[in-house]
């Protein structure tokens, strides 16, 4: 019986080694892509960002001839996905979602913020506009009402944010500093858990995605007080932007794609072309329009420039707000 158990261990060892080693012996760079591409999405499934990216993935799969498979990694408020992609092999089989927010987070979480040059930017595909909303029964009819209440009651007004450090949080913190009021951000993992928190009255307001709240607003359960983007939204003609209210800030959340640094140029070009085409796919366009989001495409080079410019503006802002990385 002793020898049988050793034999058993032997079989187990060999089989498990085989199972681990086998997937590694893939062929070299034949015609890219040769196998499915993994798109790491730093957002919870079912959210706006995730849905749009899935549509892009589906459309790009057709052009590339290999499936683009979405993998959700919502950890660290979408920062985990960024780190995962940056550390992956630059072989074109791992890409991930990208936005100026990743660099904001880098300033907040890391000692040395990452630079745009340390990645291969694929492109930008759409933007999400945020809005500040309160419950339908809330006494605040305008944004100013809430500001005044916060001034009179420091520490009592809270706003839910779908990701810690997300653009709407920066906008609200900026307003808070300007108005010298003390209101607090409550982070949630995505928009989905934040909405019940608002509807149940556990937080005063939500700095969430304006387009996603349309149904709730129509039903009278939520009231949109302000848009954090640069222009008013067609579905909410009466809601002012923060700029119109006198605050010199707008926070739009751009969504694009990125790959690790050092991606071979032909592979990068193929990805750029495939996703540029995907952004014209009718399903994707309809989704973006239906959800009140501006369709904004930039190719890789333009997007790199845009990211660099944003970084110049946002990094000092984050430091000024006291949110930057502290030892």
Binding site for other proteins (CB under 8 A): 1-2, 4-5, 8-9, 11-12, 15-16, 19-20, 23, 44-47, 50-51, 54-55, 73, 75-77, 79-80, 83-84, 87, 105, 108-109, 158, 164-165, 184-190, 192-193, 195-197, 199-203, 214-216, 218-219, 221, 283, 286-287, 290-291
CB closer to other proteins out of 22 and 248: 22
CB closer to other proteins out of 186 and 230: 186
Please report where in the chains the tokens 């944010």 appear, as a residue.
161
DSSP state of 241: B
Nearest to 45 by CA among 37, 33, 34, 57: 57
Q: What is the C-alpha separation between 239 and 226, in angstroms, rounded?
A: 6
CB closer to other proteins out of 23 and 265: 23
Shortest gap between Cβ of 189 and other proteins (angstroms)? 7
CB closer to other proteins out of 26 and 302: 26
CB closer to other proteins out of 50 and 91: 50
CB closer to other proteins out of 21 and 265: 21
Q: What is the C-alpha separation between 53 and 68, in angstroms, rounded?
A: 10
* DSSP string covering 14-67: HHHHHHHHGGG----SSSSP-SPEEEEE-S-TTSHHHHHHHHHHHHHHHHHSS-
Prior bond of 33 cis (ω within 30°)? yes
What is the phi/psi pair of residue 271, to 5°?
Answer: -65, -45
Shortest gap between Cβ of 156 and other proteins (angstroms)? 9
Shortest gap between Cβ of 284 and other proteins (angstroms)? 10
Shortest gap between Cβ of 178 and other proteins (angstroms)? 21
Angle at 78 between CA 73 and CA 81, to 5 degrees: 50
Shortest gap between Cβ of 43 and other proteins (angstroms)? 10
Shortest gap between Cβ of 166 and other proteins (angstroms)? 12
CB closer to other proteins out of 101 and 121: 101
Shortest gap between Cβ of 119 and other proteins (angstroms)? 16
CB closer to other proteins out of 75 and 246: 75
Q: What is the C-alpha separation between 188 and 208, in angstroms, rounded?
A: 11
Q: What is the C-alpha separation between 303 and 271, in angstroms, rounded?
A: 14
Shortest gap between Cβ of 141 and other proteins (angstroms)? 21
Residue 20 class from Cβ within 10 Å (0-12 exposed, 13-18 middle, 19+ buried)?
exposed
Region of residue 76 (phi > 0: left; psi between -120 and 50: alpha; otherwise: beta): left
Shortest gap between Cβ of 35 and other proteins (angstroms)? 12
DSSP state of 90: S
CB closer to other proteins out of 89 and 305: 89
Q: What is the C-alpha separation between 39 and 81, in angstroms, rounded?
A: 10
SS (H, E, C) 161-222: ECCCCCHHHHHHHHHHHHHCCCCEEEECCCHHHHHHHHHCCCCCEEEEECHHHHHHHHCCCE
């Amino acid at each position: 019986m002793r020898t049988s158990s050793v034999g058993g261990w032997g079989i187990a060892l060999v089989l498990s080694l085989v199972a681990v080693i086998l997937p590694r012996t893939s062929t070299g760079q034949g015609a890219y892509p040769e196998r499915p591409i993994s798109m790491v999405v730093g957002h919870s499934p079912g959210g706006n960002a995730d849905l749009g990216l899935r549509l892009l993935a589906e459309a790009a799969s057709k052009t590339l001839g290999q499936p683009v498979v979405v993998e959700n990694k919502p950890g660290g408020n979408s920062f985990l996905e960024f780190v995962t992609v940056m550390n992956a092999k630059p072989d074109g089989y791992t890409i991930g979602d990208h936005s100026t927010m990743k660099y904001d987070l880098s300033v907040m979480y890391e000692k040395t913020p990452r630079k745009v040059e340390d990645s291969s930017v694929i492109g930008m595909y759409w933007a999400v506009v945020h809005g500040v909303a309160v419950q339908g029964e809330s006494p605040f009819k305008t944004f100013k009402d809430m500001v005044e209440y916060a001034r009179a009651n420091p520490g009592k007004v809270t706003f839910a944010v779908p990701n810690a450090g997300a653009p709407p949080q920066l906008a609200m913190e900026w307003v808070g500093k300007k108005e010298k009021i003390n209101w607090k951000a409550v982070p949630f993992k995505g928009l989905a858990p934040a909405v019940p928190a608002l509807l149940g009255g556990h937080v005063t307001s939500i700095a969430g995605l304006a387009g996603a709240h349309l149904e709730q607003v129509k039903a009278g359960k939520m009231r949109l007080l302000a848009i954090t983007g640069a222009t008013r939204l067609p579905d909410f003609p009466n809601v002012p932007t923060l700029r119109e209210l006198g605050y010199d800030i707008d926070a739009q959340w751009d969504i694009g794609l990125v790959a690790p640094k050092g991606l071979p140029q032909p592979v990068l070009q193929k990805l750029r072309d495939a996703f540029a085409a995907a952004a014209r796919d009718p399903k994707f366009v309809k989704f973006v329009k239906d959800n009140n989001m501006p369709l904004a495409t930039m190719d890789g080079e333009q997007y790199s420039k845009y990211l660099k410019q944003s970084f110049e503006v946002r990094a000092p802002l984050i430091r000024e707000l006291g949110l930057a990385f502290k030892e």
